[in-house]
Amino acid sequence: MTTARSKLTPTSERTREQLILAGERLFAQSGFDNVSLRQINAAAGQRNSSAAHYHFGSKEDLVKAIHEYRGERINKRRHAMLAGMSAREREQVRPLMKALVYPIVAEIEETGGGNFIMFLSQLYSNPALDLVSMWRNHLSESVGTVYQHLREVFPEIPEEVAGMRFGLMWVAMINALADRQRLTLVNRAETAIFRALPVLFVSNLVDMLCGAAAAPLSAETEAEIREIRAANRQSA
């Protein structure tokens, strides 16, 4: 994709970006299944009805392009945060959770990424899209680093639970930020209230994620893990 994009003229690059932003906005508002490439063309102000098809080929490829457009910047922010941590901070849960959350919040607050967080929330509710591929290509490296550090902070959390717990935390974070963005847009008369408390909202979100990461296993969960391990030994 990088090679193909390097051949685009400045005009084509602008058109591509306009289509990405229009698609991001429409998908955020209406979901993947309820938006057509023709609608995205119109929203992007393109007279050529095949512009989106020319640049992306399909809605699925446009979704990947949107993910890449934002994901590259978020990835860089997260890498910078991780690189700036001391060895002691990398052994603590809160700095690691901040590295997970803050780069996305910065994209929302500083670069007009409000539609992107709602777009992500919509994607995670659509089983037809290849989210694993997009994850691996655009976010997994920096997020994977956070995950590995968390495994070192909480070595007592069994592998059977650790990945599942992290995935649930990630989706909860995305949905919480997306819901806040939706409320900000719907309650326009109260926008000042929502905008006045972003630090508190994000800090509280980080607190909740820290609590989820550190939650002890219940007796029920431990029993389920023992059963899974026993079944695996028998089938080996």
- The tens digit of pLDDT for each residue in 135-150 reads 565 556 789 999 999 9
Residue 7 has a pLDDT of 60
Residue 189 maps to a domain: yes
What distance in Å separates the CA atoms of residue 64 and residue 4, rounded to the nearest whole number?
A: 15
CA distance 5 to 208: 40
Q: How far is CA 61 from CA 23, 31, 36, in A?
A: 11, 15, 13
Residue 3 lies in a domain: no
d(C-alpha 175, C-alpha 157), whole Å = 24
Q: What's the pLDDT tens digit per position in 117-134? A: 999 998 888 776 666 666
134/137 Cα distance (integer angstroms): 5
Average pLDDT over residues 22-29: 94
**75 falls within a domain:** yes
Mean pLDDT of 53-71: 90
pLDDT at 8 over 60: yes
Over residues 92-121, the mean pLDDT reads 92
Cα–Cα distance for residue pair 127/144, rounded to 1 Å: 22
Arithmetic mean of pLDDT, 103-124: 89
Residue 32 in any domain: the answer is no
The distance from CA 100 to its chain's CA centroid, rounded to whole angstroms, is 10
Q: Domain of 146?
A: 71-235
In which band, very low, low, confident or very high, does the pLDDT at 113 lie, cut at 50, 70 and 90?
confident
Residue 111's pLDDT band, with cuts at 50, 70 and 90, is: confident
Q: Is residue 104 part of a domain?
A: yes
The whole model's pTM is what? Answer: 0.85
Residues in the chain: 236
The answer as to whether 56 is a domain residue is no
**Number of domains within the chain:** 1
43 within domain boundaries = no
Q: Within a domain: residue 64? A: no
Buried-exposed string 72-95: b where 16+ CB fall within 10 A, e elsewhere: ebbbebbeebbeebeeebbeebeb
Residue 1's pLDDT band, with cuts at 50, 70 and 90, is very low
Residues 6+ apart with CB under 8 A from 171: 124
Question: What mean pLDDT is predicted for residues 193-200?
Answer: 64
